[in-house]
């Protein structure tokens, strides 16, 4: 494009911006206000967690709070260690991720690349219907059906373990992973597939080497949303994880993740008391853990974008 053509294009764009209709200006203003509101709400939540939770972090020390094995908030002085809650959250999230990611991405590949359109139109709404199930209903299903099965099949003393909670969270994460991954795969231009077939690749080679890498940012976002759902879920893990206060050595032990600890303890906590502050501190740690997951996912997506930009 010559310099005169570029100047003409810029002047035309400037005139079009000046001639925007009032409705367009209103929509743009609403979009900016919505984005600003989301930032304000996020900062407000973080500020409340800091205000309420920091006193508990420094009642002993941040290191003792994070690594201590004892949770005795009613003793004098209170002993506030959340290592067992933190480790339990990691175990449950790990089990959920290991189970949900391969199944969810595989289902998305089948729906987007293999299944006939009429099958996709039936199966995808059914999978997404799982996301509408209340978490307490999923907890009842895990308590009445999955927990006895785990106990009898694996020969445990109880079926209320982190493994059971991880299976239920995997089921709850599947709709998000399947739906977002399937949309990302369908967004891959069909010309990419045709070019791969033209070079002699098979359908599965095209899926593995072309479709999945091209949709990796969307698939990574789907996995991130699924992991976030697993970390933040409350009622299901409260009902089926076992509620033990000991540090779990494996996912097959009863345990109490951080969300369950907050949900079970907040009803008996005196407002502005040491237990109340400690539960807010657990929420602050949970918030930071979620932010860390989002940060890692963003770095992975940025690295993938730079990789394809160089190729």
Helix ranges (H only) for 110-134 are 117-129
Percent helix / strand / coil, the chain, rounded to 5: 80, 0, 20
Q: 10 Å Cβ neighbour count for 216?
A: 17
Rounded distance, CA 261 to CA 285, Å? 13
Q: What pLDDT sits at residue 102? A: 92
Query: Virtual CA dihedral for 252, 254, 258, 264, nearest 10 degrees?
Result: 150
pLDDT value at residue 125? 85
71 phi/psi in degrees, rounded to 5: -120, 90
pLDDT at 100: 92
**pTM of the predicted model, to two decimals?**
0.80
Residue-level pLDDT, tens digit, the chain, 311 residues: 455 665 655 666 556 555 666 777 788 888 888 888 988 988 888 888 888 888 877 777 778 788 888 887 777 777 788 888 989 999 999 999 999 999 999 999 998 888 888 888 888 888 888 877 888 888 888 888 888 998 888 888 888 898 999 999 998 888 889 988 888 888 888 888 888 888 888 888 888 888 888 888 888 888 888 888 888 888 888 889 888 888 888 889 898 998 888 888 877 777 777 788 888 888 888 888 888 877 777 776 676 666 655 55
């Amino acid at each position: 494009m010559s310099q005169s053509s570029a100047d003409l294009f810029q002047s035309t764009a400037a005139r079009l911006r000046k001639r925007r209709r009032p409705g367009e200006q209103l929509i743009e203003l609403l979009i900016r206000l919505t984005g600003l509101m989301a930032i304000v709400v996020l900062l407000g939540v973080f500020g409340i967690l800091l205000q309420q939770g920091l006193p508990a972090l420094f009642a002993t020390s941040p290191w003792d709070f994070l690594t201590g094995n004892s949770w005795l908030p009613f003793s004098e002085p209170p002993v506030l260690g959340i290592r067992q809650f933190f480790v339990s959250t990691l175990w449950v999230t790990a089990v959920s991720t290991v189970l949900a990611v391969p199944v969810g991405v595989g289902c998305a590949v089948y729906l987007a690349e293999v299944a006939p359109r009429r099958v996709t139109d039936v199966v995808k709404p059914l999978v997404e219907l799982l996301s509408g199930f209340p978490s307490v209903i999923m907890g009842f299903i895990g308590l009445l059906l999955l927990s006895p099965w785990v106990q009898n099949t694996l020969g445990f003393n109880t079926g209320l373990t982190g493994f059971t909670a991880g299976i239920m969270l995997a089921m709850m994460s599947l709709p998000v992973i399947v739906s977002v991954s399937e949309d990302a795969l369908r967004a891959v231009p069909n010309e990419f597939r045709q070019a791969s077939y033209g070079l002699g690749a098979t359908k599965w080679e095209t899926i593995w080497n072309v479709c999945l890498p091209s949709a990796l940012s969307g698939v990574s976002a789907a996995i991130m949303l699924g992991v976030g759902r697993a970390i933040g879920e409350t009622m299901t893990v409260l009902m089926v994880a076992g509620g033990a206060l000991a540090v779990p050595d494996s996912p097959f032990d009863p345990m109490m993740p951080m969300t369950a600890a907050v949900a079970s303890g907040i009803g008996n906590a005196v407002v502005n008391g040491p237990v109340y502050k400690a539960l807010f501190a657990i929420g602050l740690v949970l918030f930071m853990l979620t932010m860390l997951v989002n940060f890692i996912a963003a770095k992975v997506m940025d690295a993938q974008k730079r990789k394809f930009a160089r190729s």
